[in-house]
Chain A
Amino acid sequence: MTQPVKLIEVKEGILEDDGKVAASLRADLQTRETFLLNLMASPGAGKTSLVLHTIKTLRNKLEICVVEADIDSTVDAEAVANEGISAVQLRTGGFCHVDAAMMREGIAAFGDKKCDMIILENVGNLVCPAEFDTGAHKNVMILSIPEGDDKPLKYPLMFSICDAVLINKMDYIGLSDFDMEKLTERIHRLNPNAEIFRISCRTGEGIDAWSEWLFREVCNFRNSKL
C-alpha cells in the first residue's frame, strides 16, 4: 500500500528568528541610550579610515565604542584602540556577515561602560551583510570611486537597505570614468530616501557633512524615546 503524499502549508520566513533577535537588541540598546551604526562596504573601500575620521570629529560630543568584524585579523581593532577608543574584535569565524546574536556578544564585552554610539565595521563585502539585521539603528555603506558607478546594479539589496551611502576616495574622481550623476540615479531608483555623501578620507573632504548628519541621527535617536 502506498502512502499518500501530504501537502503541508509551512508559511515561515527564514530570517524571522534573526529579525526577532535584532529587534530585541535594538530595543535593549535604546534603553541603554546607545546608538548602533552598521557600517558596510567592500574590502578596502575605507571603512576603518572613516571610523577613525568619525572618531576624531565626534569624540568630544559622544562617547564612542567600535566593534570590528574583520575575518581573522585584529589590525583594524588595533588601529582604533591606538586612538584611545574602546574596540572589540568579533570572532566571526570566517563568517561572511555579522548578525544580531554575534553583535550582542560583542557589545557584552564593553560591560557597563557608558557609550553613546557603537560603530560596527562589518565584514568587507557588499552581498551578505545586506541580508542580516545586526540590530543597528542606522545602516550605512561606503562605495569608493575605484569600485565603479555600476555597483547599485550588481548589489541592489545593499543599496536598498542603507540610510546613507558615502562615496569615498573622491580624490580619485578625476582619474576615472566614474559618473556621479548615473550613480546617484541608480541609488535613488532603489532607495529614494538614501542620503548621499561625497567624501575623501585622504583629503578630509565631506567628513564634516557626514559627521553632522550622523550626530543629528544620534540626537534624533535619543529624542525618539517614549
Chain B
Amino acid sequence: MHELPVIDKILQVALKHARKNNISRILSIHLEIGELSDLEESWLQRYFDRVSSGTPAAGAALNVTRIPVSARCSCGNTFGITLNNTTHTCCPSCGSSSWQLVAGKGYFVKSMEGL
C-alpha cells in the first residue's frame, strides 16, 4: 500500500546519483529488499515505470535481490531465521532467545547502470 512513497524514494536516489555521475539515461537499478517486506517485484516495476516516465530513469529495469532475515544473538552469533518454521527460534550456538533482527527489513539501492 505504501509502494508509491517507497518507489518514489528509490527514484529520487537514482536520479540524484545519475546527476552526480553525469548519467543521462539509467538502464538498470539493483535493489536489495529484505524478505520481511511484502513488496511484490512485478508491482514494483510497474509502479516504477509510472513514476519514472519522463525522467532519465524511464525504462530502467529493476533488479531485486531479496535479503534473508537474520538475527544477532547477545553471544555474538549471527544466524538465519526461517519465517515459516513452527518452533520458537533460539540461537543455534548458545540456545538463548536474546537476539535481535539485523537483516531482512528495509530497502537498499546497491548500484545502477547508465549511459
Contacts and interface: CB of A to CB of B under 8 A. Distances in A.
Interface of A: 3, 5-15, 17, 95-97, 125, 127-128, 131-132, 153, 156-157, 160-161, 185, 188-193
Given A6-B115, A8-B112, A189-B88, A127 B1 contact: yes
B47 to A, nearest CB: 14
B55 interface: no
Residue among A7, A10, A128, A190 having the largest count of chain B Cβ atoms under 10 Å:
A10
Given A10-B13, A127-B38, A192-B97, 17 more contacts: A5-B113, A5-B114, A10-B109, A11-B108, A12-B17, A12-B109, A13-B109, A14-B106, A14-B108, A15-B9, A131-B2, A153-B83, A157-B36, A160-B36, A189-B81, A193-B98, A193-B100
A6 B85 contact: no
B42 interface: no
Interface residues of B, number: 40
Interface in B82-100: 83-89, 97-100
Nearest to A6: B114
Interface of B: 1-2, 5-6, 9-10, 13-14, 17-18, 21, 23, 27, 36-38, 81, 83-89, 97-101, 105-115
